[in-house]
Structure 1
């Protein structure tokens, strides 16, 4: 694939791709104390996508190590790893396995799949924008995607919270998951 980002489309994809974790980000955003947002990311992410001649045959699998959560605050990260939130000792991974891929435009697609957090699985659909493809200086065929989806953490058994004196709660139920993916074609 030597197309520039401006001319490549989802239809140009076929093959097997591996997430390049050092050039990708799987992050999240949560409201904190009802007045601001806390952002974080998972630093240990692995995954593959296999695309045949038709997107309906595509398969995406992603595994995130829960212990790799990073909000730039050690105390908060420790709390998020605890049984109050991710219970990483019992549930060390967060997984996503696609159940369907649908092209929604020349450079956009929806990936529907089973998201498992803390042992609970729910179906989610993540809209993605194909940012393009290029051959990098090392000869790798590389593609980029960006997407996000809002989930309710309580749907995954992540229920801890603390009430605020002024009303509301310390941590929002709604969490934005953000994906900035760079993947390298392997086959």
Structure 2
């Protein structure tokens, strides 16, 4: 692939090669890293006019993993409240091209029944033909959010022990639909 125009098309996330992760400071000294293991997403990319592009990502809240089973069980009940809010959803509203390979995607992020706008900067890190003849694209991006904006603050100790700022890390691989 040599031009963005050649990448125009509809894509689905390759969930085996995509990582949806997060980092939060704990007790203001250490960092807790985690990820969501179950998600799906789609995108339309218009290489001639990136402003006509769009993205949607749906994350299964119960799939949160931090490599500590007790913490994961606690987070499932208190953070996304998976019984009442089983998914986290991002739907883009605008896409802007910043550089040859840089894009700013603004959209609505819904967590715990609260929807707020967020803006994520992405870098196109690669594009290739896969062994089956399809086209794969790779994007890397991230954004820091304040969990309090989505009502993720379940007690006074949480305010003291866990930073309100959470960095979302996205390492995306998507496959063009044929």
TM-score grouping bracket, smaller chain normalisation: over 0.9
User: 1:176, 1:138 → 2: CA distance?
Assistant: 35
Structure 1's 157 and 104: CA in aligned 2 closer, same or farther, altered over 3 A?
same
- Which residue of structure 2 aligns with residue 139 of structure 1? 133
Deviation larger for 117-126 or 133-142: 133-142
State the partner residue of 2:40.
46
RMSD across aligned positions (CA): 1.6
Q: How do residues 93-172 of structure 1 correspond to structure 2 at under 5 angstroms?
A: 93-163=87-157, 169-172=160-163
- Cα deviation for residue 162 of structure 1 reads 4.8
Structure 1 consecutive aligned stretches of length 4 or more whose deviation exceeds 4 Å: 8-12
Partner of 2:27: 33
Structure 1 distance, partners of 2:133, 2:72, is 38
Q: Does 1:80 align with 2:75?
A: yes
- 1:163 deviates by 3.8
Q: Deviations over 1:28-56 (max 9, x none)?
A: 00001111100000000100001234211
**CA displacement at 1:90 relative to structure 2:** 0.2
Mapped partners of 2:157, 2:136: distance in 1: 46
CA shift digits 1:91-110 (9 cap, x unpaired): 00000000000000000000
Deviates more, 1:136-145 or 1:60-69: 136-145
- Partner in structure 1 of residue 58 of structure 2: 63
Whole-Å separation in 2 of the counterparts to 1:102 and 1:11: 15
> Residue deviations 1:132-155, cap 9 Å, x none?
100122222100000000000000
Find the counterpart in structure 1 of residue 166 from structure 2: 175
Question: Which residue in 1 is equivalent to 2:17?
Answer: 23
Unmatched tracts of structure 1, length 5 or more: none
- Alpha-carbon distance in 2 for matches of 1:34, 1:64: 27
Give the TM-score, by structure 1 length.
Answer: 0.90
Q: Which has the higher helix share?
A: 2
Name the SS of the counterpart of 2:73 in structure 1: helix
TM-score by length of 2: 0.94
**CA distance in structure 1 between the aligned counterparts of 2:164 and 2:106, rounded to whole angstroms:** 21
